[in-house]
Amino acid sequence: MSEVQHMLDLPVLSPETFLNLFFPEFLTKKPKEMRPVMIWGQPGIGKSDIVKELAAKLQEKTNKVVLIHDVRLSLYTPIDLIGIPCPDEHKEYTVYLRPEMFKMDDSPNVINILFFDEITNATPSTAASCYQIILDRKIATHQLPDNCYVLCAGNRTIDRSGVYKMLKPLANRMSHVELVTSLNDWKKWAYRQKDFDSRVIAFLNYRPNLLCVYDPSSDYVAFPTPRSWESVARRSYNRNIFEIVNLIASDIGTSAANEFLSFSRLYDQLPVLKDIENGKYSTIPSEPDVMYALCGAIVNRISDIDKQDIQKVENLLEYLMKFPVEYQFIAMSDIRRNAKAFLKAALCQNFILWSNHNKQYLED
């Protein structure tokens, strides 16, 4: 058990485990029956992304429109939540104008998600104003519609990110989990992205400890996290990364950027994949860093090959079969995570034989 898990006494979940655990509840329970969920985690870990992924899965499964209402409570005061006071039409009582967050589509073909992101950055008085929303789905006379779920997310106090300790009455109104990520989780997500530099994935296979380097006690303001690596991968896609060195360093810091750039230079040393896919034999490099780069390049190349050129995929896989076993597993596992590559590899005899032989060691 990690120190953080011990301090919070919470289940520590990967994004995939979170979805497997909570998605069935969102799918089968009405919003009134569903206790609000609070997602804890360090900055840049993907708390907001997991809510978007949950919404996308709900939309796919229910064929309803799922709308996320992202409310950053750090920008709100208690008055913002209850609404501006004004006299009623007879000027006898005070009523409150309905805040915009309550302006939701309540039609049956819509699902709303009220998402209090960065809730731990809200002042205690604002957080206290949420008691009734979280528990009773209303504040004053303003009621959430019956088709609205409530989710919250925020950083931990040990992250030193300007958060307040959550008030116990608020905490007791929610279910709590801590979100963590691993390289395998991140790669599953990364391979679903468009315009995403595969060199970043290959580099993190080689240096997995650089996926997330968060030290709340340091003065560094640019450092590796899943979020900052996403920015690097989008910036460097189809670009000469040696022309944007400072852009990359502005996301992940100069130390990690220099390692990534040094790794990227290895691509000039790789065998010519077009020769291999056309059946020409090539030697297999012996240097570990070159092998990690080569595994990433092969996965990326297989995803790009047209389906009618399946023999080219077969030739690349035959070459891959000659790798040391550890690199076979790296490349084959990533092929399984990359939907475009998997669709073509699954038609190849080399892939089928290898998968059957090693199925007990592979993730589902």
- Assign 328 to helix, strand or coil: helix
String of b and e for 267-289 (b: at least 16 CB within 10 Å)? eeebbebeebbeeeeeeebeeeb
pLDDT band at residue 1 using 50, 70 and 90 as cut-offs: very low
Q: What is the pLDDT of residues 6-34, one digit of tens each?
A: 467 899 999 999 999 999 999 999 999 99
What's the N-to-C CA distance of the chain in angstroms?
A: 25
What pTM was computed for the model?
Answer: 0.83
Residue 350: what pLDDT?
94
Residue 91: what pLDDT?
84
Strands 65-72 and 37-40, bridge-based pairing: unpaired
Residue 4: what pLDDT?
44
Q: What is the pLDDT of residues 156-170, one digit of tens each?
A: 988 888 889 999 999
| Mean pLDDT, rounded, for 214-226 | 89
Domains of the chain with bracketed CATH:
3-180 (3.40.50.300), 184-361 (no CATH)
| Mean pLDDT, rounded, for 316-332 | 96
Nearest to 34 by CA among 117, 146, 179, 141: 146
Q: Across the chain, what does the average pLDDT equal?
A: 92
Question: For residues 253 and 231, what is the distance between their CA atoms, to the nearest angstrom?
Answer: 13
Strands 142-143 and 138-139, bridge-based pairing: antiparallel
Residue 361: what pLDDT?
76
Q: Report the percentage of the chain scoring pLDDT > 90.
A: 80
Q: What is the pLDDT of residues 113-142, one digit of tens each?
A: 999 999 999 999 999 999 999 999 999 889
Residue 72: what pLDDT?
93
| Mean pLDDT, rounded, for 78-98 | 87
| Mean pLDDT, rounded, for 89-100 | 86
Q: What is the pLDDT of residues 274-320, one digit of tens each?
A: 999 999 988 999 999 999 999 999 999 999 999 899 999 999 999 99
